[in-house]
Amino acid sequence: MTKIHAACRLSLLVGLLTLCASATAASEIEQQRALFQSVYAAVERGDWGAVEELSALEQHKLEHYVLWPDLRASWLRANIKTVPATEIDSFVQQYGTLKPARELRYRHALNHVGSGDLPGYLKIYQQFYQGQDIAKLDCLALQAEIQAGRYQRVKTRAIKLWTVGKSQVDECDPVFEYLASNRLLGKVEYLNRYRLAVEERNFTLAKWLAKNIDQKHIEIAARWQQAQVNPEDFLRQYLHKRSGKVLREQLSYATERLTYRDPAIALTLWDQATRKHRFSEAQKLGTARHIALWTARDNLPGAYDLLQALSPAAQDDEVMRWRARVSLRNSQWENLLQDIAAMDDKERQVEEWRYWRSVALHQVGQVLAAKAGFESLSTERSYYGFLAADELGKNYALDHANLAADELKLTELEARPEITRARELYFVGQDSRGRSEFDAALRHLADDDKLQAAVLANRWGWHSRAIVAAASLGEYDDLAIRYPLPYQSTFEQFASQARISSTWAYGIARSESLFMPDIRSRAGAIGLMQLMPATGRDVARDIQLPYAGLATLTDPESNIRLGTTYLGQMAKRFGGNQVLATAAYNAGPHRVDGWLPLAGSIDARIWIENIPFNETRKYVKRVLAAQTIFHWRMTGQVRRLSDELLAVRAAGKTAQVASR
């Protein structure tokens, strides 16, 4: 008994010591984090005095912080023109595996160029960047080779950089001038680049290149530009002229361009062109498919006949989808069943077509088969799963299951240097850098560790990384991780002021940014609710919110206020119809205006399926499903998705709930 009691006391003592050590370490890193944040802004401006003003103990703590290299690199970047190269080289050599050191090395290399030290740049380039095919760096290296008189190493590499179908980076201009002045660019080189420019539809570049070929190519390039800018005029002008291969390509291209603007006119002119000119089979198939698809997307008469008349070689998945959507839009239920049956096996099993097949079966009286389809789909936690459950009056598949936390693994994982760095970057407000390092670390983890990384990120409140880590393993059942509730009081306050539901705003924010306050889209939208700067400025003016551009849009509270206000404006504009307002938030209200029926109304589910933009169509479904889940998360109650689907009516008409 005594030995057992002694063992228990020892185990308890070890546990207490471990707990105390962990608490001490946590306190220490919190102090280091606070010190870092207190000096970083000054250091980033190049002022190291902020660090020197700290006490000796504080400096010691800061020097042993995991982000010390980031702090030092920031100061070196700010003072890169005056700091001795040896100091930078020493830093890079010590911390070269870390991203801040790699970024500093890149800046250091370019600083050699800026100061006229091309040999110094070339030394760094040859050691770290050669062979990476970065045009800017490659051309700077060639400048160094030219300056050093090593011409034999220049021609082949320079012509390779020259031979692209786009305008190269400015750093290549001196290299290309060297080629031209030494007559190393002949007609063959210009022709090669000209062809690439035409292939990439860079006709301005093609026209410039043609000046160094001959008058014929100048005229051809001018025709390409006309086909691009004024496709209808081009088709009418050249439709009845004798054609060679190039003109046929231009006529086909002009028809493609015109189709985006007016499929009906494009079809008329293309029919005339095919009677006059001998297009290749690929040109005829491709252009006919393009016209048929855009006739369907624009909801024009005759779309189904055009899609159905396409050659079997052109009947790909996208064509089959739009055949089904046109049948759906026209309530041609027998046709819809045939369209779905004609899809390949993989496409037929997509939730979209499983749902609509069941609807069509019900419409043609095959009630039992329809019910079986709805039953199968209603087990899915998704847009179509919810709609199927609505058809049956069943509960939604909202089963929540926490990811299993392994505390020992979590402790080990959090102690890894790369994970610690990522966490600290997030905690000090450098989200983008933190995401980059977290994702890099995630790629090298075993699946069990990835699972714990999701749990860990969620505990930190780093929701975007928790969602991504869980999704990378196909783990979708922990709804607290997948549908978190950050900034809840802020969302509720401003959603209430905008007279919209906070759950809808949450659905938008999750779909837009995964709750990343600093994220920027390729289109230029910024922040949690992904607002374009112009939209943010206009809404800020409407509500008299001081607007400072990027600083306002990346501030979570301001972004949520602006985003919910704008969403409320869209809801008001579209008569309270969340489907239309959600589509407008993504694609813009003027586009949605153009997608409204000319008269009468259409079931919102069918309208959603016929949104011409793939991105917007998926976005609307994703937001609606997310809103449903957020409502359950916040209230514990189910709000039927179908009850949110107001009929889509012609412009100026009042919305109403669509009957099922």
d(CA 391, CA 373): 11
Distance in angstroms (rounded) separating the CA atoms of residues 357 and 340: 7
In the numeric block, the tokens 């030219």 are attached to 146
- Which residues sit opposite 646 in a β-bridge? 657
Contact 328, 609 (CB under 8 A): yes
Rg (alpha carbons) of the chain, rounded to whole number: 31
Region of 330 on the Ramachandran plot (φ > 0 left; ψ -120 to 50 alpha; else beta)? alpha
Q: Which letter does DSSP use for residue 531 in this model?
A: B
Sign of CA dihedral 608, 612, 617, 619: negative
The β-bridge partners of 201 are none
Give one DSSP letter per residue of 288-307, joined into a string: HHHHHHHHHHTT-TTHHHHH
C-alpha pair distances (Å), 205 with each of 193, 218, 228, 440: 9, 11, 14, 38
Residue carrying structure tokens 């205006």? 593
> Element (H or E) spanning 190, and its range?
helix 187-199
Instruction: Categorise residue 229: left if φ over 0, alpha if ψ from -120 to 50, beta otherwise.
Output: alpha
Provide, for the chain, the percentages of residues in helix, strand and coil under a 3-state DSSP scheme, each rounded to the nearest 5. 70, 0, 30
648-649 and 601-602 as β-strands: parallel, antiparallel, unpaired? antiparallel
Contact by Cβ (8 Å): 162, 178? no
Cα–Cα distance between 476 and 360 in angstroms, integer? 30
User: Are the beta carbons of 424 and 66 closer than 8 angstroms?
Assistant: yes
H or E element at residue 62: helix 56-63
User: Token pair for residue 404?
Assistant: 């299993």
Q: Which amino acid is at 86?
A: T
Angle between helix 2-44 and helix 417-427 axes, rounded to 10 deg: 50
281 is catalytic: no
Q: C-alpha angle with apex 276: 273 to 279, nearest 5 degrees?
A: 70
Q: Which of 467, 398, 346 is nearest to 625 (CA)?
A: 398
- Residue 218, classified by CB atoms within 10 Å of its CB into exposed (0-12), middle (13-18) or buried (19+), is middle
Indicate the helix (H) or strand (E) that contains 447: helix 447-460
Beta bridge partners of residue 526, listed in sequence order: 520, 531
Catalytic residue among 391, 512, 609, 644: 512
The DSSP symbol for 520 reads B
Residue 54 buriedness (CB in 10 A; 0-12 / 13-18 / 19+): middle
Residues 235/254, Cβ–Cβ less than 8 Å: yes
Q: Which residues are catalytic?
A: 512
